Structure 1
Amino acid sequence: MGLARAEDALVHAAKDESAAAWLAPGWFNEWHDGLAAKGLNFGATYIADNMGNVSGGIARGATHLGRFDFSVDADLEKLFGWTGGRFYANTYEIYGRGLSRNYVLNLATLSETEALPDTRLYNAYFEQGFFNNALNIRAGQQAADVEFFDSETDDLFINGTFGWPAIKATNLPAGGPAPPIAVPGIRVKAALSDKITAFGAVFNGNAARPGDGDPQLRDNHGLAFRINDPPWIIGQVHFDYEIDVGGRPLSGNFTPGAWRHFGQFDDQRFTAQGLSIADPDGTGIPAKRRGNSGIYAVLEQVLYRPPSVTEKGASASLPGVTAFGRVAYSPPDRNLIDLYLDGGIGFVGFTPGRARDRFGMAVAYMRISNAVRNLDIDTRFFSGLSSPVRSNETLIELIYEAHIKPGWLLAPYFQYVFRPSGGIPNPNDPSGLSRIGDAAVFGLTSTLRY
């Protein structure tokens, strides 16, 4: 489970819980709580993810990866009398090897925690609220995945696409502002009414310095602080509502949104001369397309609450059943993925004697764009080989989240990935004719939060 989503899950499930009572000595807790009362709150989260694929991918294997997060949250009103002000920063200490990168080669990273080993600054921003926080402005290095294209129910799941959908992580430069990379930006949030909230943000369009190789290496330690790249803007409107079922209100929300990037993007099939990139008579260099864009929508709905529960809003932490669905589209000529769909269902409070435990199932579908599929067909034609033609990557995740002690979660899960990376050739097959096999993955994530 990714850090932002792991913290969300803990907060949603038990806002008053942490591991302080049993993890740290009493004098330390008193010191920590005393500072927090004055407006300076230090936090720590540790996530350990163990997983292995028992079939499929490019090889069978198992990995262990982990991430420490150390944060400081400063209430500037309590500290200095600065009304509505806040400062937040956190750092990552990342270690281990990822299963997606080393064994499966799929698009939707199997764990949002997966990243190259590094000590990395993540968030570092100021936040200012106005009119009792009806208007909130955030400026500094920050991520987009917690507020944009997000629902509460998807926070339960481990696969990275349920935190930051693969259509953005794959199509945007450096994967966009999401774990493990954040970028400088300004975000505005405005409560237009009790049930309507608007979000808008402008981010630097690329976290990584110019060059080749993995973007994480070109934003080493999260200190690139780039502000001169073409911008990426995103906006959405969040609508809360209630439906009456059998005389009981069940809450939900609907969030449509759109984004625009002002940089240049490679054409996925043609060169500037109009020839296929696979054509040996051409340059093989993709044509450049100006700008990129996308539209998306999120729907989240409470399906059931026990009669004893009185709810306000679609909180996924209350006992009951909650479902979500998301859809996104981007132009096929300049994107690897043009259509994205996911959805899932979460259950809370159904395990006898374990009221905080959650479990659920989710599915995600990533369609490879027509331009990319046609390039694969071109490659077949010019090479004379029946190499695979990419179509889509689809995955299923099942998870159980157990609250062992306050602030300590254990989550066993299973994922099955159909056609990793849409069905690319298996690099272990010298003929290039077979695709990477479907992968069955078992895992166990442990999260500690202080």
Structure 2
Amino acid sequence: MFRKIITVPAAFCACLTLNVAPAGAQDAQSGEDAFSFKDRLTQDWGGVRRTLAEHGVDFQLTDQNEFWAIPVGGSQPSNNYIGVTTGQLSLDLGRLTHLPLGTLGISGVDIRGHPFSNQPLYVFNQVSGIEADINLRLYEVWYGQTFDHDRLDLRVGKLDLSHDFMGSDGAQQFMNASFSWPMVPDNNLYDQGPAAPLGTPALRLKYALSHDWTVLAAVADDNPIGASFLNEADPWNQNQDPSGTRFHFGTGALMFLEAQYHTKLWGRDGTYKLGGYGDTGRFPDQADSSVRHKGNWTFYAVADQKLASLSGVQTLAGFVRATWAPPANRNQIANAVDAGFVLNAPFQRTDDVLALGFGYGEASPVLRRAERRAGTLAQHTEYHLELTYQFQATRWLLIQPDLQGMLSPSGGVLDTAGRRVKDEAIFGLHSSVSF
């Protein structure tokens, strides 16, 4: 699944909104300042992009490339390349038609390179948030509109629900996929859940109860691809719908509910979230895959808190997210935690970020007991560590060196040669260009 890359510094394909100021602010700005494209390499296309934006049309192309080296651990040392190009089009129908309409968005991705987290690393979750099966596919297509003086935000279409649910702002700075889309839904839901590069038919509501409280809810199809839950030949199942044009409705319903509280602690901003999801589909038993269980559910809590203001423009923030999947007989990952610290503006560079994160995912005790009875290596807990630096070379170019450590991959597992997979040291280099 794709990590929501913070380029300048927006989320990867998160909202597909125009790069313009709010309507009220535009009246107070000059025409030159209202539509700025300095954060894109090709800027305003000699005025063409500015003219389109004034009429509600915005197109953006983002290209991400990563090189990875694994000199130690896994089943064998390796070097890998992965990349993705994302195209996104946004149409502000209100601007286009001068009618009280909302926004239409569509995006697609071209995925390339060679996925390496399944083999040779054998980890629970991908080392990189842009790691996926090689395909040129439709990602999202949706219509969104606000009501009640913008307090109610509705979106319907083929959606990536990780944009709205279970997210931590601090965790988005990292490259390991566990920080952006948690290990629990990634391993326990159909097709790794409704997270990039997969969208699923869904309706999402967001309502601002007050300045401090926001409630989000969504109902979606629980199977973005529409394939069976288990597929040893294609574990991610993405090749079962390589174009991303299948709109599946036949497996079950996936429902999210999340409450967000925005406050100040010790005079510093913080956001706290509590939520959960339920799935009406059928899931294989962790001890006997021929047995199916009806329904599944998970609870989670997220905290993002600014901790200190340091010298100059530097700030230190922290985050923690815990997820818990109670039905151990139908979930591979029983619980997981991610946490970390984020230093904004290191070396007084306003747009740079230095971050240290860590976390773990624990395998189901039902799965562990079944493996012991079978006389095989029992999976327990996988730990991941990450140190990363986002260097904003220009407003449109981000370069990010990265160091990760994976301890007890997949909680202890054997490779295809029957040898235990060793702890791993992983070096990565990411680049992101916004055109």
TM-score normalized with structure 2 length: 0.89
Equivalent runs, 1:374-413 vs 2, <5 Å: 374-380=369-375, 387-413=376-402
Q: Residue 347 of structure 2 aligns to a residue in which SS?
A: coil
Residue 164 to residue 8, structure 1, CA distance change in 2 (3 Å): farther
Listed one character per residue, the Cα deviations across residues 290-323 of structure 1 (whole Å, up to 9, x for unaligned) are 10001000011100125877xxxxxxxxx41111
CA apart distance, 1:29: 4.3
Aligned to 1:438: 423
C-alpha root-mean-square deviation of aligned residues, in Å? Answer: 2.1
Which consecutive residues of structure 1, in runs of 5 or more, have no partner in the other structure? 270-276, 278-284, 310-318, 381-386
Aligned to 1:292: 296
Are 1:226 and 2:248 an aligned pair? yes
Which consecutive residues of structure 2, in runs of 5 or more, have no partner in the other structure? 13-18, 21-34
Conserved? CA contact 1:19–1:405, under 8 Å: no
1:286 alignment partner AA: S
Structure 1 CA distance for aligned equivalents of residues 402 and 43 of structure 2: 33
Are 1:334 and 2:338 an aligned pair? no
Conserved? CA contact 2:263–2:271, under 8 Å: yes
Are 1:303 and 2:288 an aligned pair? no
Among 150, 163, 187, the alignment partner of 2:180 is 163
CA apart distance, 1:400: 0.5
Residue 20 to residue 241, structure 1, CA distance change in 2 (3 Å): closer
Structure 1 CA distance for aligned equivalents of residues 11 and 280 of structure 2: 36
Aligned to 1:258: 276
Conserved? CA contact 1:19–1:448, under 8 Å: no
Structure 2 CA distance for aligned equivalents of residues 132 and 39 of structure 1: 20
Aligned to 1:4: 4
Structure 1 CA distance for aligned equivalents of residues 424 and 192 of structure 2: 23
Structure 2 CA distance for aligned equivalents of residues 363 and 198 of structure 1: 28
Equivalent runs, 1:47-446 vs 2, <5 Å: 47-83=64-100, 85-211=102-228, 212=231, 213-214=233-234, 215-244=237-266, 249-269=267-287, 277=288, 285-306=289-310, 319-330=314-325, 331-352=327-348, 354-380=349-375, 387-429=376-418, 434-446=419-431
CA apart distance, 1:19: 7.6
CA apart distance, 1:360: 0.5
CA apart distance, 1:156: 0.4
2:415 alignment partner AA: N
Are 1:23 and 2:58 an aligned pair? no
Conserved? CA contact 1:3–1:69, under 8 Å: no
Conserved? CA contact 1:56–1:439, under 8 Å: yes
CA apart distance, 1:66: 0.5
Structure 2 CA distance for aligned equivalents of residues 160 and 78 of structure 1: 37
Q: Residue 220 of structure 1 aligns to a residue in which SS?
A: coil
Structure 2 CA distance for aligned equivalents of residues 21 and 55 of structure 1: 38
Larger radius of gyration: 1
Q: Residue 68 of structure 2 aligns to a residue in which SS?
A: strand
Structure 2 CA distance for aligned equivalents of residues 321 and 290 of structure 1: 44
2:157 alignment partner AA: G
Conserved? CA contact 1:363–1:394, under 8 Å: yes
Structure 1 CA distance for aligned equivalents of residues 39 and 279 of structure 2: 46
Listed one character per residue, the Cα deviations across residues 314-362 of structure 1 (whole Å, up to 9, x for unaligned) are xxxxx4111110001112111110111110111111214x221111011
Structure 1 CA distance for aligned equivalents of residues 39 and 178 of structure 2: 34
Conserved? CA contact 2:8–2:396, under 8 Å: no
Conserved? CA contact 1:5–1:156, under 8 Å: yes
CA apart distance, 1:22: 7.7
Residue 55 to residue 306, structure 1, CA distance change in 2 (3 Å): closer
Conserved? CA contact 1:5–1:146, under 8 Å: no
Structure 2 CA distance for aligned equivalents of residues 146 and 408 of structure 1: 22
CA apart distance, 1:40: 0.4
Structure 1 CA distance for aligned equivalents of residues 168 and 202 of structure 2: 22
1:83 alignment partner AA: P
CA apart distance, 1:442: 0.1
Q: Residue 346 of structure 2 aligns to a residue in which SS?
A: coil
Residue 359 to residue 75, structure 1, CA distance change in 2 (3 Å): same
Listed one character per residue, the Cα deviations across residues 147-197 of structure 1 (whole Å, up to 9, x for unaligned) are 111111111000111111111010001111001111110000000000100
Listed one character per residue, the Cα deviations across residues 118-142 of structure 1 (whole Å, up to 9, x for unaligned) are 1010010000100221001100001
Structure 2 CA distance for aligned equivalents of residues 338 and 370 of structure 1: 8
1:54 alignment partner AA: P
Conserved? CA contact 2:2–2:197, under 8 Å: no
